[in-house]
Amino acid sequence: MKLATIRTADGRTRAVRVDGDTLVDLGLADVGELLAQPDWAQRAARADGEPVGSAGFAPVVPRPGKIVCIGLNYRKHILEMGRELPAHPTLFAKYPEALIGAYDEILLPPESDQVDWEAELAVVIGARVRRADEAEAEAAIAGFAVLNDVTMRDWQYRSPVWLQGKTWEASTPFGPYLVTPDELPGGVRPSLTLTGEVDGEVVQRADTSDLVFDPVALVRYVSTILTLNPGDVIATGTPGGVGHARKPARYLAEGSVLVTEITGLGRSESKAVAEPVTP
């Protein structure tokens, strides 16, 4: 099943089921509101509401309670950098203000000239879970989506803590769809090809089966620390090919087009534009 949050012509948002080219209204404002229903999967599957028109895609979950991000999580990339595989996940956070729809513009803030790309698989939580065992963690995964953890490197490395480079407003494409595990090879541990492009050039490519900590392991780990709730998001990390690691380094500039695609999950395509700043 494929779900999305769309914008409507009257300025509102709606949760929809995507049936090919048809968007079926699920009677709720967004996918986050849908996932808060205990029977969300059955409700979405049996919905037969009127098809609705779309004025574009909003972030799949517009305001998740938590966005937990993982660093250093692709095996081949870690080894090629001469590092040892981590014993535990590296965690940091984003806030909902960072999220944009799959085809929205990325805002380039005037305070940064090192805006980098990080193509990622996002896990979306569909059930409340704390200290999950393996079966509970598997059951808590509602589905997966495309995300790009756009990062202001000059701010990220101002200190040992990454947060200040990771959560700039209107920087993070998320969507267009949430796809449930039953539609993906590998299910809750999907094996999918992830690709990132900048201005038509492939800059990142990897298989999500190369993750050191797979989605189930991440749900178990994060839920040990705090309760995961429906609509929460875990961004699982990026493979090699980011601009900051290139020689010379390369970053997004005004007019750059960033495309992130994951087989089975769709693609986001966002143009980078200078953020208008009021004097």
> What does the pLDDT look like over 115-146, one tens digit per residue?
999 999 999 999 999 999 999 999 999 999 99
- The encoded tokens of residue 276 equal 């208008």
What is the pLDDT, as a whole number, of residue 82? 76
Asked if residues 218 and 123 have their Cβ atoms less than 8 Å apart, the reply is yes
Rounded CA-CA distance 243/116 in Å is: 6
DSSP secondary structure letters along 227-260: -B-TT-EEE----S--GGGSSS-----TT-EEEE
Using one digit for the tens of pLDDT, what is the confidence trace for 195-251? 999 999 999 999 999 999 999 999 999 999 999 999 999 999 999 999 998 999 999
| Alpha-carbon separation of residue 239 from 98, 172, 173, 212 (angstroms) | 21, 17, 17, 11
Using one digit for the tens of pLDDT, what is the confidence trace for 35-81? 999 999 999 999 987 788 888 999 999 999 999 999 989 998 888 66
Selection from 174, 193, 195 nearest residue 184 by Cα: 193
CA-only gyration radius of the chain, Å: 18
The position carrying tokens 């986050």 is 32
Residue 176 has pLDDT above 70, yes or no: yes
pLDDT band at 83 (very low <50, low <70, confident <90, very high): confident
Burial group, residue 133, by CB count within 10 angstroms (0-12, 13-18, 19+)? exposed
What is the pLDDT, as a whole number, of residue 81? 67
Rounded CA-CA distance 122/102 in Å is: 13
pLDDT band at 186 (very low <50, low <70, confident <90, very high): very high
Please give the angle made by the CA atoms of 28, 18 and 213, to the nearest 5 degrees: 90
The percent of residues in the chain predicted with pLDDT above 70, rounded, is 99
Rounded CA-CA distance 128/20 in Å is: 30
Rounded CA-CA distance 237/71 in Å is: 5
pLDDT band at 93 (very low <50, low <70, confident <90, very high): very high
What mean pLDDT is predicted for residues 88-109? 97
- Tell which CATH classification among 1.10.10.10, 3.90.1150.10, 3.30.465.10, 3.90.850.10 matches the domain 61-274: 3.90.850.10
**Which one is predicted more confidently, 9 or 81?**
9
Phi-psi group of 65: left, alpha or beta (phi > 0 → left; psi -120 to 50 → alpha; rest → beta): alpha
Bond preceding residue 176 cis, omega within 30 of 0: yes
Q: What mean pLDDT is reported for the chain?
A: 95
